[in-house]
Amino acid sequence: MTITVGDPIPNVALKHLTDNGMQEVATGDLFAGKTVVLFSVPGAFTPTCSAKHLPGFVQKAEALKAKGVDEIVCLAVNDPFVMRAWGDKHEAAGKVFLLPDGNAAFTGALGLTMDGSAYGLGTRGQRFALVAKNGTVTHLAVEKPGQFEVSSAEAILDVL
């Protein structure tokens, strides 16, 4: 079942790559006591994700934080090494936290996976954005297949 406004963010342990090696992050801790914007992309280094989605949030990070956002998180069903390289390429450090979900555990718990097998991608996350306050979803915008409108940084700025 897909997460909806008013639902708590599921607590899932994920791994991400830091300067000190592989570290575990619990999504429950990531969202606790904060206002978090989470946006999901079907894959790092894919066309729309690399040309518009991540760069938009990197560019608008200060504006989002000025509206009370404590953390901006980019989720993708990719491994920690790919997410680290993608974040480095887009100079996301300090602006957007790249959260790898290599096994689609968190994306699945949100109920927002998609089948990208036709493109050789396997199970991936749908393109979406949500706002959560203290671990509870207050806004959710899921894109229609092939679209990029409601989950952009500009669209999220408009709802904050």
Average pLDDT value for residue range 29-43: 97
Write down the pLDDT at residue 121: 87
Q: pLDDT band at residue 132, thresholds of 50, 70 and 90?
A: very high
Q: How many other CB atoms sit within 10 Å of the CB of residue 158?
A: 9
Write down the pLDDT at residue 122: 86
Distances (CA, A) of 51 to 9, 89, 112: 28, 12, 22
Strands (E), 49-116: 71-76, 97-100, 113-115
Decide: helix, strand or coil at residue 6: coil
Average pLDDT value for residue range 120-142: 96
Report if pTM > 0.85: yes
Annotation marks residue 49 as catalytic: yes
98-131 per-residue burial string, b: 16 or more CB within 10 A, e: under 16: bbbbbebebbbbbebbbebeeeeeeebbbbbbbb
Average pLDDT value for residue range 36-51: 94
Write down the pLDDT at residue 114: 93
Q: Which residues contact 103 (CB under 8 A, 6 or more apart)?
A: 77
Write down the pLDDT at residue 45: 94
Among 14, 36, 37, 49, the one annotated catalytic: 49
Q: Is the per-residue pLDDT at 129 higher than 90?
A: yes
CATH class of 13-159: alpha beta
